[in-house]
Amino acid sequence: MTQESGTARLTQPVGKLDHQHGPENAPVTLVEYGDYECPSCGEAYPIIKKIQRQLGDRLRFVFRNFPLTQMHPHAEHAAEAAEAASAQGKFWQMHDSLFAHQRLLNDAHLVQYAVALHLDEEKFKHEMTEHTYAQRVREDLQSGVQSGVNGTPTFFINGIRHDESYELETLLAAIEAAMPS
């Protein structure tokens, strides 16, 4: 992908509040705005995992919530569940569970995933009932809107929106092209 003027850019830089996998000093940062109930995000999930395995410490992956609530009725609560798990140190484990069970994201199932991850069940249920992390999810969503995100998944490679396919070969080539030589 070329980095032309006018290309959409990430307006909210990656920071301490972001869910990051990989070293902060990795030469490439891939940011995904995603929705746990989105079928396309479900298709992208194993591709991202494969790219992470292949690139190892040369890639930092960041996931930001972008629930499309009009199309996916469970997406926002699933994002809140991931944030609740994050508060107990298990964001990535819940992230993986949500994508593994993408068609089963009602509240009862979210509690089952929390229990399976050995989260404090009562705390999790309370935080979900109170929508403790709804503001955090909205902040991710708003940062996506400000960056021109209007669908999921949307990827940014080193702050530049990747407008091509997220198929393995295409996305991997774009990430490798962003690597310093």
The answer, yes or no, to whether residue 3 has pLDDT greater than 60, is no
pLDDT value of residue 149: 97
Neighbouring residues of 107: CB distance < 8 A, sequence distance ≥ 6: 77, 128
CATH 3.40.30.10 fits 19-177, yes or no: yes
pLDDT one-digit tens code per residue, 94-123: 999 999 999 999 999 999 999 999 999 999
pLDDT one-digit tens code per residue, 117-147: 999 999 999 999 999 999 999 999 999 999 9
All structural domains of the chain with their residue ranges? 19-177
Neighbouring residues of 130: CB distance < 8 A, sequence distance ≥ 6: none
pLDDT one-digit tens code per residue, 14-70: 999 999 999 999 999 999 999 999 999 999 999 999 999 999 999 999 999 999 999
Residue with tokens 């070293």: 23
Of 2-11, 23-32, 98-107, 168-177, the one with minimum mean pLDDT is 2-11
The answer, yes or no, to whether residue 7 has pLDDT greater than 70, is yes
Phi, psi of 57 (to 5 degrees): -70, 0
Q: What angle do CA 60, 37, 67 make, to 5 degrees?
A: 70
pLDDT one-digit tens code per residue, 41-51: 999 999 999 99
Confidence category of residue 5, pLDDT binned at 50, 70, 90: very low
60 burial type by CB count under 10 A (0-12 exposed, 13-18 middle, 19+ buried) = buried
pLDDT value of residue 1: 35
pTM of the model: 0.94
pLDDT above 70 coverage of the chain, percent: 97
**Coil, helix or strand at residue 75:** helix
